[in-house]
Amino acid sequence: MDRINAVGGGESVGHWMIPGNALSALGARPFAVLRLTGEAWLTARACLRALRQPRTYLPLTFAQARDIGVASVPLVAVVAMISGAVTSQQTGYQFTGSLPVWIVGSVVAASVITELGPVITGLVLAGRVGARIGAELGTMAVTDQLGALQAVGRDPVLYLVVPRVLAGLMTVPALVAIADGAGLLAGWALALLTMPVTTAEFTYGVRWWFHDFALWFSLLKGLAFGLAITFIACLVGLRTTGGAEGVGRAATSAVVSGTVAVMVLDVIFVRLLKVF
């Protein structure tokens, strides 16, 4: 772990490159990828080891859960409501006249619970939480605060990474549940206002499609997204070098990597859904 933090403390990431030779620079890329993979593995191992000290990380985890989770509720709820409402309108527009109206309830529930709720939440949090963690840890890295934490005998993984990752694991599934509920409610409300469908018909559609596994599937996606977004942002933050510009790069990189991770995980989960 100390090697990882030494990177945060100012070592050159392009360490493997042999200058003045374009070919060697190209050849260095696989080394950089290998190095990043190694750092991710070592950080993950250090996180698992740090789990033995709950008295240190639990209070910090609850503070992070408030920042990551509670503070994200309004944004997640609004975006989920908009997506639920749009789904309801699109379904009405596409299917009215060709299929029974209660199908709107089924389509809204299926889209929101299996896809839109978790993915929209993941994307929103990759932006909001990823940028925050990347910039926060990045600033600590470039201002020697990570070094100072180590200098006083504290493990940055225990104090900074574990609380954020655990907070992500705790709150993102809850946020996904909120997004699912908000999306369904908005879809139902707009369907009632703009389509020839009753509450009974809409809820019949929802119940016709609904099965327990879909809800677990949605929450499981939230768990995976929460882990990926927070862990990647922490890793990016710890590796930051290069002053204010480096912090900017870290924030951007945390958002981009988190977004890509959410989309890749979503594809993997779609395959899993087909298996089950």
Partner 1 sequence: MIEFDGVSKRFGSQGVLRGVTLRIPAGSSLALLGPSGAGKSVLLKTVIGLIEPDEGDVRVAGRSVLRDDGRALAAVRRQVGYIFQSSALFDSLSVEENVLLGLDDEVCRTNPQWCRQRVEQCLRWVNLEPDAAAKYPAELSGGMQKRVAIARAIAGNQRYLLCDEPTTGLDPMNAALIAELLRRLQQQLGATSIIVTHDLSLARFVTDRFALLFEGRIRAHAPADEFLALDDPVVRSFTAAAQNLQRVA
Site residues (vs partner 1, CB under 8 A)? 1-3, 5-6, 9-12, 14-15, 17-19, 55-56, 140, 143-145, 147-154
Q: Which of 201, 179, 181 is nearest to 192 (CA)?
A: 201
Q: Least distance in Å: CB of 260 to partner 1? A: 28
- CA gap 111, 105 in Å, rounded: 10
Residue 40: CB minimum distance to partner 1, A: 19
Beta carbons within 8 Å of 111's beta carbon, 6+ residues apart:
87
Tokens in use for 95?
């299917």
Helix (H, G, I), strand (E, B) or coil at 99: strand
**Least CB distance to partner 1 at residue 144 (A):** 4
| Least CB distance to partner 1 at residue 73 (A) | 22
Which tokens in the block code for residue 253?
């990189």
Which residues, at least 6 apart from 89, have a Cβ–Cβ distance to it below 8 Å? 190, 194
Query: Between residues 149 and 185, which has the closer beta carbon with respect to partner 1?
Result: 149
221 versus 239: smaller Cβ distance to partner 1? 239
Closest CA to 220 of 162, 273, 258: 273
Q: What CA–CA distance (Å, rounded) separates 269 from 263?
A: 10
* Nearest residue (CB) to partner 1, 15 versus 211: 15
Nearer to partner 1, 111 or 139 (CB): 139
Complex with partner 1: residue 137 or 175, whichever CB lies closer: 137
Ramachandran class of 144: left when φ > 0, alpha when ψ lies in -120 to 50, beta otherwise: left
User: For the packed helices 243-275 and 212-238, what is the interaxial angle rounded to 10 degrees?
Assistant: 160
> Minimum CB separation from partner 1 for residue 224, in Å?
29
Nearer to partner 1, 64 or 259 (CB): 64
Q: In the bound complex, what is the minimum distance in angstroms from residue 43's beta carbon to partner 1?
A: 14
For 99, phi then psi, to 5°, come to: -135, 160
Nearer to partner 1 among residue 18 and residue 51 (C-beta): 18
- The string of DSSP letters for 182-197 reads HHHHHHHHHHHHHSS-
Three-state DSSP state, 51: coil
Half-sphere exposure of residue 215: CA atoms within 13 angstroms, side-chain side? 11
Minimum Å gap between C-beta 14 and partner 1 is: 6
